Amino acid sequence: MHANIPPKPAYIDLHIHSTASDGSLSPVKIIQAANKANLRAIAITDHDTVDGSVEALQHQYSSGVEILPGVEISASFESGVMHILGYLIRLDDISFRETLKVLQKARANRNLQILKRLQDLGIDISYDEVLKASGGGQIGRPHIAHVLVHKGVVQGIDEAFNKLLKKGSPAYAERYRLLPVEAIEAILVAGGVPVLAHPFTLNAKTEGDLERVLVDLKQAGLKGLEVYCPGHGPEVTARYERLADRHGLLVTGGTDFHGTLKPGVHIGIGRGDLRIPYRLVEELKQSAS
Ligand code: AMP
Ligand code: FE
Ligand code: FE
Ligand code: ZN
Distance CA 224, CA 263 (A): 27
Low pLDDT (below 50) residues in the chain: 1
Give Cα separations from 88 to 101, 154, 183, 259 (angstroms): 19, 39, 15, 23
Looking at all shown ligands, the one closest to residue 261's CA atom is 1
Closest ligand 1 atom number to CA of residue 158: 20
Q: What is the pLDDT of residues 142-156, one digit of tens each?
A: 999 999 999 999 999
For residue 237, the CA-to-ligand 1 centroid distance in Å is 22
The residues near 227 (Cβ < 8 Å, ≥ 6 apart) are 237, 240, 241, 244, 251, 252, 253
Beta bridge partners of 253: 228
Closest-lying ligand 1 atom to the alpha carbon of residue 258: 12
> Separation of 22 CA from ligand 2 center, angstroms?
5
Instruction: Return the closest-CA partner of residue 185 out of 75, 80, 262.
Output: 75
Residue 259 beta carbon below 6 angstroms from any ligand 1 atom: no
pLDDT at residue 231 in the model: 82
User: What pLDDT does 61 receive?
Assistant: 86
Alpha carbon of 261 to ligand 1 centroid (Å): 9
For the whole prediction, is pTM greater than 0.75? Answer: yes
Q: What is the DSSP letter of 227?
A: E
Spatial contact of 118 and 154, defined as CB atoms under 8 Å apart: no
pLDDT at position 125 is 95
Cα-to-chain-centroid distance, residue 238: 21
CA distances 225 to 34, 239, 257, Å, are 23, 12, 18
Q: d(Cα 183, Cα 89) in Å, to the nearest integer?
A: 13
pLDDT at 6: 61
What is the per-residue pLDDT across 48-105, written as a single tens digit (0 to 9) for each? 999 999 999 999 988 889 999 999 999 999 999 999 999 999 999 999 999 999 999 9
Q: Which residues of 7-45 are buried (b: 16+ CB within 10 A; e: fewer)?
A: eebebbbbbbbbbbbbbbbbbeebbbbbeebebbbbbbb
- The answer to whether residues 212 and 205 touch, using CB atoms and an 8 Å cutoff, is no
The ligand placed nearest to the CA atom of residue 45 is 4
52 and 46 Cβ atoms separated by less than 8 Å: yes
- Contact (CB, 8 A) for 9 and 39: yes
Please report the pLDDT score of residue 5 as a whole number.
67
Pairing status of strand 224-228 against strand 250-253: parallel
Q: How far apart are CA 21 and CA 45, in angstroms?
A: 9
Confidence (pLDDT) at 136: 87
